[in-house]
Structure 1
């Protein structure tokens, strides 16, 4: 072998060795970054919470507080009447947690195996009040509902809206319901009843005390005695088909912390006994 061929072969051999050494010493590109991203993705959880409309304002504020506690959790609320929400869950709508304004709808779901029974708890209590537009000075109590000046009385739909069911109980207990049937205007949820009164589309309405508290356009003229209706209790539970049951339970647990309780109480709720 002449010198020229030997030199060329030596150069090729040296280049190959350097290339192999370089590959052996270089770490897999972005391995640490990829692992970090995978962990972050795995820890990120999206929860869908179905909530009775009457708790909307408090729950929106609680969402902000919870984001500070658990920034990896994204919460999406589904507000509506408890009856409609329960039907959605029964029909398979993706839901992680259900907060109802009535034990009836939670009882139905539990009997159907749609919620985790050991996650269920009574969270809040409320009261029923009679409200009128701020400028209405004619109505001072429940007995005034029979006056000719009162032509429209708004309540929630009794069959699907818990507030409507409680309102019917109140009016029936006071022996007023039958005489008011022609005056009744039904709302799809308690916030719609509140809106009817705020806009003057009705003369008077029955809503939860907490709903009246958030509106500056209505005033409370009477509170229904507790003996005139069933206890207004808000049960909460993790839904059986939740794909994130552990995170869902953590959110439910947060609602019993001092932070959440302070928010609920600021909106007029009391803790369930």
Structure 2
């Protein structure tokens, strides 16, 4: 009887062991399959591309991003907009950025000088025009009108960090108006804030890019400044030297320079690269 019981016990242990091995094998197979699936799925995971771009590109960038995603659906664009000076400082302090679009050469040149960007990598993306805008109904029709009592506040971007503000100051200097209107100047953090102040009546007039005023109904473009009254308004673009997504960033830059993207930029008031 004891012998039979021992045999039954042994058989039961063998059966349980077989089941355990089967479960372990199944678990191992499942784990391997999951690992393989994860590995094979890497190719379809989205690549995040960090773009730092001048605030004046805000509206155009929405359409550019949509068009680029039609071509590269697996690329996620994270766009950081701001004044070129602020963006430059963020990049220098280690903020994630794969591609930089500045509204002025000064900021890009600084990144070239400190080794963040290769000099040969810099290209001109587009050009722009500087215009004087006024709230509808304002009695301003020339630069000389800025000296009159009809204009109490003139909004410009901070010349130290905002390229549009730098160009505006150049215009005022070169037309001998600066000393007459310097007490009327109010400095904004970027060109979009300048436009907003004029729209809300916080400033009588402001200097912005033509692209900023394009399609805006509640301001009038009083005049377009002469090209020889300020430095050339060109937007340089470059992939950062240490970009972890350099290949994809280069693809986005090539797209920006394509006819498709250039047509979009022109529609938003920018000038195509010649």
TM-score class normalised by the smaller sequence = 0.7 to 0.9
Deviations 1:211-263 (A, max 9, x none): 01142211101100111111100001111222211111111111112321121
Superposed displacement of residue 116, structure 1: 3.2
Query: Who is 2:110 aligned against?
Result: 108
User: Superposed, which structure 2 residues align to 1:242-261 within 5 Å?
Assistant: 242-261=243-262
Superposed displacement of residue 60, structure 1: 1.5
SS in 1 for 2:29: coil
Deviations 1:46-77 (A, max 9, x none): 11111000011101111111122112111111
Query: Who is 1:49 aligned against?
Result: 51
Which of residues 84, 94, 109 in structure 2 aligns to 1:92?
A: 94
**Residues in 2 aligned to 1:124 and 1:240: alpha-carbon distance in whole angstroms:** 22
**Residues in 2 aligned to 1:35 and 1:221: alpha-carbon distance in whole angstroms:** 64
Superposed displacement of residue 15, structure 1: 7.2
The aligned length equals 272
**Residues in 2 aligned to 1:206 and 1:141: alpha-carbon distance in whole angstroms:** 13
2:235 is aligned with 1:234: yes
Structural RMSD (CA) = 2.7
Cα distance change on mapping 1:40 and 1:120 into 2, 3 Å: farther
| Dislocated runs of 4+, deviation >2 Å | 25-44, 116-119
User: Superposed, which structure 2 residues align to 1:200-215 within 5 Å?
Assistant: 200-215=201-216
Superposed displacement of residue 32, structure 1: 5.6
SS in 2 for 1:94: coil
2:181 is aligned with 1:180: yes
Q: Which runs of 5+ in 2 are unaligned?
A: none
Superposed displacement of residue 30, structure 1: 7.0
SS in 2 for 1:29: helix
**Residues in 1 aligned to 2:40 and 2:238: alpha-carbon distance in whole angstroms:** 28
**Residues in 2 aligned to 1:63 and 1:166: alpha-carbon distance in whole angstroms:** 28
Cα distance change on mapping 1:214 and 1:40 into 2, 3 Å: farther
Deviations 1:65-108 (A, max 9, x none): 11221121111111110011111111221211110000111011
Query: Who is 1:60 aligned against?
Result: 62
Q: Is the 8 A contact 1:130 1:206 kept in 2?
A: yes
Q: Is the 8 A contact 1:174 1:228 kept in 2?
A: yes
**Residues in 2 aligned to 1:52 and 1:248: alpha-carbon distance in whole angstroms:** 17
User: Superposed, which structure 2 residues align to 1:120-135 within 5 Å?
Assistant: 120-135=122-137
Superposed displacement of residue 36, structure 1: 4.1
Q: Is the 8 A contact 1:233 1:272 kept in 2?
A: no
Q: Which runs of 5+ in 1 are unaligned?
A: none
Query: Who is 1:69 aligned against?
Result: 71
Q: TM-score, normalization: structure 2?
A: 0.88
More displaced, 164-173 or 108-117?
108-117
